[in-house]
Amino acid sequence: MKLPNHHLATVDRRKVVEYLLNPAHPDNGGKARFFATLGFSLDTVEPLIGALRSIAAVTEVAAHVESVHGDKYVVDGLLPVHTGSGRGRMVRTVWAIDRGTSVPRLVTAYPHEE
């Protein structure tokens, strides 16, 4: 199963800038370092957003959990290298579709080894 309404999936630019690519964020846990190894930085926010949305669009859902707040979907996929060469790395993305809506939004993304 693909992420429902994956064509509408949103990635909040602030989440990428202030959290995923921010090594100073207290909950970052090395995510900024991981994305930097693939060539993503504050100068390449839009390509990272596009790559995360692409994973949601083409990859099967690995897990689905329902809650009182809505549905969460885990989608694992290959995040390509943005600059330089080499193979991309696996990333786990978590998407939420809040109760009463139909638009998936990115909750988080982090390295994932199978």
pTM (predicted TM-score): 0.93
Based on the number of CB atoms within 10 Å of its own CB, is 107 exposed (0-12), middle (13-18) or buried (19 or more)? middle
Q: Show the domain range for 13.
A: 6-111
Inside any domain, residue 1: no
Q: Which residue has the tokens 């809506």?
A: 101
Inside any domain, residue 92: yes
Inside any domain, residue 56: yes
Express each pLDDT in 23-78 by its tens digit: 999 998 899 999 999 999 999 999 999 999 999 999 999 999 999 999 999 999 99
Q: pLDDT at residue 114 above 70?
A: no
Inside any domain, residue 52: yes
Total number of domains constituting the chain: 1
* CATH number reported for the structural domain that contains residue 90 in this entry: 3.30.2310
Q: pLDDT at residue 84 above 90?
A: no
